[in-house]
Chains A and B, each alone.
Chain A
Amino acid sequence: MLSNKRLVLAHFLLAFVLFGVALLLGAWQMYIRSPLHPWLSNPELYYRSLTAHGTVMGYAFPTLIAMGFGYAISQLALKQPLVGPRWAWASFFLVAGGAVVAMIPVSLGWASVLYTFYPPLIANPLFYIGVVLLVVGSWIWVALMSINLRVWKRANPGVPVPLAMFANVAGSYLWGWTAIGAALEVLLQILPVALGFKHTIDAGLSRVFFSWTLHAIVYFWLMPTYIAYYTIVPRAIGGKLYSDTMARISFILFLVVAMPIGIHHVFADPEVGAGFKFIHSAFTALVALPTLLTVFTICASVEIAGRLRGGKGIFGWLKVLPWQNPIMLAVAFSFVMLGFGGAGGLINMSYQLDTTIHNTQWITGHFHLIFGGAIVIMYFAIAYDLWPHLTGRALTDLRLMRAQLWLWFIGMIVTTFPWHWVGILGMPRRMAFFDYTSPELQPEAISVIVSAFGGFILVISGFMFLAVLARGMMTPRTQAGEYRFSVAVHPPVRVPVALNSHGLWVGLMIALTLTNYAFPIFDLAVRKDTSVPAVYVGAR
């Protein structure tokens, strides 16, 4: 019942085209700073590329996936036409237009400040305006998801909200609130300076505002992946969801505790005292809980599929799983990468261990493994699963899909494992060049070369993915049949209000943000002595 296919397709197509471009930039950067390439005489080109890569992969790509997937879920799970399609298109063009407006100054070299902004470096104002448009566009989507659910609830009083939509709306609220930190930074602090109304800025306050967004945005990237784990994977591999209730609890936990933990990104900073650093460290440990619950529920659901296929014994069910099915392969790879990435994450959030790896290549390795690996491989799976329903044409090339997923997995491991290793050796981030002839850096050279080859494998896999989708738009038309989400072993008949609505949890999310952020922000905002002169980059 996808009455609005073109809307979903437009989001996915734009997302994956941008992804392809940013992927090439990423591989180019890995090549440039490896020993395979001599010194780049204009390092500004590297940082230009890095700004574009980060802005697309961090803001545009996952936001478009979440939006497109969200519109699909709203129609498919609620079985009702999308409410507000015109607003949805308006928001799409705001996001697309915002991406273009931001990328113009970036490609001209007027905004090489990276996607994390880093004031008092100040870029051309168009860069920030583009990002603001992108975020405002996505906020329209947040409102639409909420409205669609409300319309459905009015028509279906007392009926449990389908899990996919419950999670989707939780993800949208999380994004709506987490984007506010960076929005405050850009609107109150950066834009007045970029536009020339002010010339000083408090860099410490900016870093705290940005940390508000910087961590929970990761869980926003993760939401489509977790929704796919719970509501696509069990159905796609012929199994059932172990527990609908635990799924709801996990999504609620993400909504509540993903937010008030961002200060672990500024453990090494001088502008926040130890007390709030410790509180945020402890809350960050809490956010491991929904992931631990998810790992259990999904493994159990996959086991159910294996047992239904006749698997016996402790491990026998693993063998009989449908390994030819791309979704099965994707979720297995995703879990392996989530395991390694999650273990690394526990080190990053640790109050003490963080200092060993802070701002080293370990961190870049970590978030590429989690986001580029565990999360994005499930974006591929979502696209493979939805594509026939969006295009009315079957994806027939299963062998190519499997090869693509294998290469993505191998490429990600080859890229990120050496990346972590050189980080432990102390190799700093964001450098366009390393002098590998120096005896201290020479031991790192081989790891960086291996990592760069991993990047090239990822480019091959990424373009195979685009080829699968492109070929899927040329096969003969077929009927994709009705789209189904996973069914729980014990489907919910009645669900308590708390697990069927978001109000209480949104309230808790806001309250926890205030207790964990209000004081650090207020404390910095009232300081008179810490604003510093802006340092403008690029042509004005």
Chain B
Amino acid sequence: MSSEDIQSEHGHSPSALIAARIEKRWATLSVAIIVLLAAMAAFAGIHQATMPQARVETADPSTLHLSGEFIESNLGSAVEPDGSVTVRAIGQQYSFTPQCVVVPADTPVTLRATSADVVHGILIEGTNINTMLVPGYVSVMNARFKEPGDHLMPCQEFCGVGHEGMWGKVQVVDKDTFRAMSTDNRRLTCVK
């Protein structure tokens, strides 16, 4: 039942009808605004702007160090056959492994990360790379760093009293430097 019907049930005073009409106009405008917002989100999503992670993947934190993609020797940045780079990292109370992530500029980068203990987060300042690390699950984010430079990489979720000290770093180097680095090492970091 529309608001006009209700108003008209108790008297057809012209002011009541006018009031209801104005109100209806506003309600229509409000709905239009909301539909527009949702449509914009859908459009941007379909056209592959930044998207929340699509699929759920799991990793057992109690065996991370024994087998699978998150064993220590496999952490860091790896060059894929198609030229893109995959970064694998772990968060634990109260540091990241590796603490310093090195990536090439202007190259597709896939971040794959998980937690070895409690809930952590990875945020790379000056970018919109921002994801939770939930133990038991693998977080995946796609990124492309435009220019070389350094970024702070704090944990953004409360993970215990040492949370304040959990800061990592991201070093974006130009493509040639990165290629030169990767000839010697299968997995790259900038940990000194």
- Seen from chain A, the residues whose Cβ lies within 8 Å of a Cβ on chain B are 43-44, 46-47, 112-114, 116, 118, 120-121, 202-204, 207, 242-243, 245-246, 249, 266-274, 277-278, 281-282, 285-286, 288-289, 292-293, 296-297, 300, 346, 350-352, 354-356, 358-360, 425-426, 428-434, 438, 440-441, 489-490, 492-496, 498-499, 523, 527, 529-533, 535, 537
Bound together, the chains give a CA A496 to CA B158 distance in angstroms of: 49
Task: Name 20 interchain pairs, CB-CB below 8 A, sorted by A.
Answer: A43-B162, A118-B119, A118-B159, A120-B135, A242-B19, A243-B20, A270-B57, A270-B137, A271-B134, A271-B136, A278-B45, A293-B27, A350-B37, A351-B45, A358-B123, A429-B158, A495-B6, A496-B1, A532-B61, A533-B117
Known: A121-B118, A292-B30, A531-B136. A47 touches B130 (CB 8 A): no
Interface mask (B131-147 → A, CB under 8 Å = 1, otherwise 0): 11111111110000000
Chain A neighbourhood of B154, CB < 8 A: 428, 431
Known: A270-B131, A360-B123, A529-B58. A243 touches B23 (CB 8 A): yes
B158 near A114: Cβ-Cβ < 8 Å: yes
A293 near B26: Cβ-Cβ < 8 Å: yes
Chain B neighbourhood of A277, CB < 8 A: 52
Bound together, the chains give a CA A535 to CA B123 distance in angstroms of: 23
Chain A neighbourhood of B192, CB < 8 A: none
Chain B neighbourhood of A350, CB < 8 A: 37, 41
Chain B neighbourhood of A431, CB < 8 A: 154, 163-164
Chain A neighbourhood of B118, CB < 8 A: 118, 120-121, 203, 535
Bound together, the chains give a CA A440 to CA B42 distance in angstroms of: 35
Which residues of B from 1 to 41 have beta carbons under 8 Å from A? 1, 3, 6-7, 9-11, 13, 15-16, 19-20, 22-23, 26-27, 30-31, 33-34, 37-38, 41
Chain A neighbourhood of B45, CB < 8 A: 278, 351-352
Chain A neighbourhood of B15, CB < 8 A: 489-490
- Seen from chain B, the residues whose Cβ lies within 8 Å of a Cβ on chain A are 1, 3, 6-7, 9-11, 13, 15-16, 19-20, 22-23, 26-27, 30-31, 33-34, 37-38, 41-42, 44-45, 49-58, 60-62, 93, 114, 117-119, 121, 123-126, 128-140, 150, 152, 154-165
B30 near A293: Cβ-Cβ < 8 Å: yes
A270 near B163: Cβ-Cβ < 8 Å: no
Instruction: Determine chain B's interface SS by DSSP, over half rule.
Output: mixed
Chain B neighbourhood of A278, CB < 8 A: 41-42, 45
Nearest neighbor of B33 in chain A, beta-carbon distance: A292
Bound together, the chains give a CA A292 to CA B16 distance in angstroms of: 21
Known: A112-B161, A203-B135, A428-B154. A490 touches B11 (CB 8 A): yes
B134 near A274: Cβ-Cβ < 8 Å: no
A493-B11, A532-B136 known, 20 other contacts, Cβ within 8 Å: A46-B164, A47-B163, A118-B157, A121-B119, A203-B118, A203-B135, A204-B134, A243-B23, A246-B3, A268-B130, A270-B137, A288-B33, A351-B44, A426-B126, A431-B163, A490-B15, A490-B16, A492-B6, A535-B93, A535-B117
Chain A neighbourhood of B136, CB < 8 A: 202-204, 271, 529-532
Bound together, the chains give a CA A532 to CA B19 distance in angstroms of: 59
Chain A neighbourhood of B117, CB < 8 A: 120, 532-533, 535
Chain B neighbourhood of A430, CB < 8 A: 157-158, 163
Nearest neighbor of A120 in chain B, beta-carbon distance: B118
Chain B neighbourhood of A352, CB < 8 A: 41, 44-45, 49-51
Nearest neighbor of A491 in chain B, beta-carbon distance: B10
Known: A43-B164, A121-B118, A535-B160. A428 touches B139 (CB 8 A): no
Chain B neighbourhood of A273, CB < 8 A: 53-56
A494 near B132: Cβ-Cβ < 8 Å: no
A532 near B3: Cβ-Cβ < 8 Å: no
Chain B neighbourhood of A267, CB < 8 A: 52
> CB within 8 A of A245: which of B3, B51, B152, B161?
B3
Chain B neighbourhood of A296, CB < 8 A: 23, 26, 30
Chain A neighbourhood of B130, CB < 8 A: 268, 355-356, 358-360
B152 near A426: Cβ-Cβ < 8 Å: yes
